[in-house]
Structure 1
Amino acid sequence: MPGQSSVAPFPTNGYTIYEFTGRPSSSTNELARVHTGVIVEVKDVHQAKIAEEAGACCVLFSQPIHEGISRMPEPLLFKEIERAVSIPVIVKIRIGHFVEAQILDCVGVKHFDESDEASAADAENFINKHKFKDSHFVCGCRSLGEALRRIKEGAIMVKTQGGMSSITGHITETLRNVRSVMSDIRYLHNMDENEVFAYSREIAAPYDLVKETRELGRLPAIHYAAGGIVTPADAALMMQLGCDGIFLGLEIFEYPNPRDRLRRMIEAVRNHSDPEALARAAFGFGPA
């Protein structure tokens, strides 16, 4: 991104990966690990180990308090999870709560998720992510304009989300929002260059990022989907629509044999264009 970290796509093994320049090499390596895959929400060391063993590219650490609402997790438990797994650990913080980010930054957290509207501390003012020089932020979106506003604030990953309760299995809102973002990107990509400035005003997004999105033909950040994704077919659907990966919520651990369910979801993401592989992943998957 101009003036921040530049994002350059290049093909590898059929996927598009992003090279983030202007970051320390260790951070770049961790970003490369989550360019595509499955990120699993966990609340303790045991769940984090299950997610890693199943093949998750990353875990999202959160501690729900009541009816899905969460606050800054216990820093000590983060350190325990960090020591227990070799994959990156993202920590969920409340929207706009920059002091939570400051505290966690001091104890070594480098990956933050600022996307949970149910736990927003300040829904009008998001964290200025550029102040956290070596950290990476994940933010949620439901439209192209919202995604680009979060990227301008410093988000390195956006997740297009719908209803965030996976246990209900309602993928409809997530599907609608993913299709909307992808449709708007295609519309922008085919737009005359002279129309881009007016379109950026229409969607209330920064002109430089709208222009960059038009040139890339996709978001200038890692793009995941979240909400209501509960079967291998759901996971493959998000991937075939153009997402880089998916988030799975804590509900996955409420099913019998969560390790096997996670492994099948991850296989579906890795083989999302292969109907035979998807059939194998779905065979005996159990109730959604």
Structure 2
Amino acid sequence: MSDVSGRITPRAQRGWYKRNEIALTPWLFLLPGVLFFAVYVVFPILQSFNISFYKWDGLGEAEYIGLKNYTDLMGDRNFEISLWNNLRWLILYLLAIPAGLMIALFLNQTVTGIRLYKSLFFFPFVISQVVVGLVFSWFYLPDSGLLDSFLQWLGFDGLNVLGNPNYATYGIIAAGLWPQTAYCMILYLTGLNAVDPEQVEAARLDGAKGWRMLWYVIIPQLKPATFIAFVVTIIGALRSFDLISIMTNGGPFGSTRVLSFYMFEKALSEYGFRMGYGAAIAVVLFLIMLLFIAYFLWSMYREERGR
């Protein structure tokens, strides 16, 4: 760029990057993360969609069969059981959100021993799911487990939770709720630190207290934390694999299977090595997750636009 006399201005002397530095610098910082996300998340998802149209054992030549894997799913009783179990996980796992909120409200107070209470409630979050599964497996042991001993002490018959098809899924969900509630608690504790004290004080002056204060003043300011809690809890419920693998391995009689575990069985275990069929299950699971997450994102977007 030059002025009237034909001389080149300082802006024109600078290189292309210098002229666009403000716009480009954020993208340069984001580029490594975007590349990793594309390679390790987006590409495998697209590859799963592609494999689901093939009959393939993972080693030999893949045979294109179109939508046959999906039509086979419609008549697969084990797939139906897994889908219904995932629905149970999804509904009951959402209990972690209000439970986490209640615990966070309790821990957000200044009382004697609050640090000890925080440590105890935080503990389930830092241990692995495998350890949680083992602990609850011992807790549910018939005759010698703590639950059985407690029931017998109260005068009831013992209960073989993990050996009964009617109770096993609920027993595993209860085990999963323990660390998930701790995670939601941490999210809400962080959100409570950002609550505007002026709004709380103004509500107090207007006579709001108790549940009215919580519902009309506190919870609306916790919507970002609630959104993250919903998304993480839904994803955790739909991809529940490790607890089932440790506690029942899909039993008894396949009654505790979920989609992620059934996908593993079909694609990688001794039951078949049907990679295409397993990929079709993975696609169904992904679409269910996408449906819920897209709904929450759209709800948040509409709310932000309405402000």
Whether the TM-score (by the shorter chain) exceeds 0.5 is: no
More strand by share: 1
- TM superposition score normalised by structure 2: 0.24
Structure with the bigger RCO (C-alpha within 8 Å, sep 6+) is 2
